[in-house]
Structure 1
Amino acid sequence: METIGVTAVLGIIVSIVCIGVSWYALQVFRFDLFVKKADSGQAKLLQIILSIFIGYGVARFFIDYLGWSLLLRNFF
C-alpha cells in the first residue's frame, strides 16, 4: 500500500515539473504569428492549455519509462 502512495506522489511531482518546463519552453514561442491578439487572456489560456497538454505527455512518457524499467527486473 505504501508503494502506491509513493508512486502517486512521484507522478504528481513529475507532472507538475514537466508542465512547468513546458510553460517555460513555450515562453519563447511566437504566438503572435498564430493568434490575432497575442496579449489577450484567450492567448494566455491557450498557452496554459498547451503547456498542460505537452507537460502531461512528457510526464506520462517518463512515468511509463520508469515503470517499464522497474518491470525489467522480473525478466531476469
Structure 2
Amino acid sequence: MIPVGQQALLHIIVHLLFLVIAWWAMQAIHFDKWIKKGKVMQARVLYILMVISLASLASDFFLKYLQYSTNLSQLFG
C-alpha cells in the first residue's frame, strides 16, 4: 500500500500530466470557426473547461486502472 503523501503526489503529477496532454491534443481543433463575434472571452473559458474536463476523465481512468491493477495482487496473495 502506498503512503498517503506519495499517493497525493502521484495524483497531482498525473493530473498535471494529463492537463498538458489534453491541452496539446485540443490544439488540433479549430474553434475559430464556431466563435461568434465579440464572444472571445467566453470561447476561451469554454476551451479551458473542456481541457480540464477531458484531462480529468483521462487521469481518473488512468489512476483507477493503476489502483485496480495493483489490487489484483491481493486476489492471488
TM-score by length of 2: 0.86
Q: 1:65 to 1:42 in 2, by over 3 A?
A: same
How far residue 34 of structure 1 moved from its aligned partner, in angstroms, is: 2.8
Larger RCO (CA within 8 A; separation ≥ 6): 2
Give the % identical residues: 33
TM-score by length of 1: 0.87
Which stretches of structure 1, 4 residues or longer, exceed 3 Å deviation after superposition?
none
Question: What residue is the counterpart of 2:26 in the other structure?
Answer: 26
**What is the alpha-carbon root mean square deviation over aligned residues?**
1.9
CA contact (8 A) 1:18 1:56 kept: yes
Amino acid at match of 1:24: W
Structure 1: tracts of 5 or more residues without a match: none
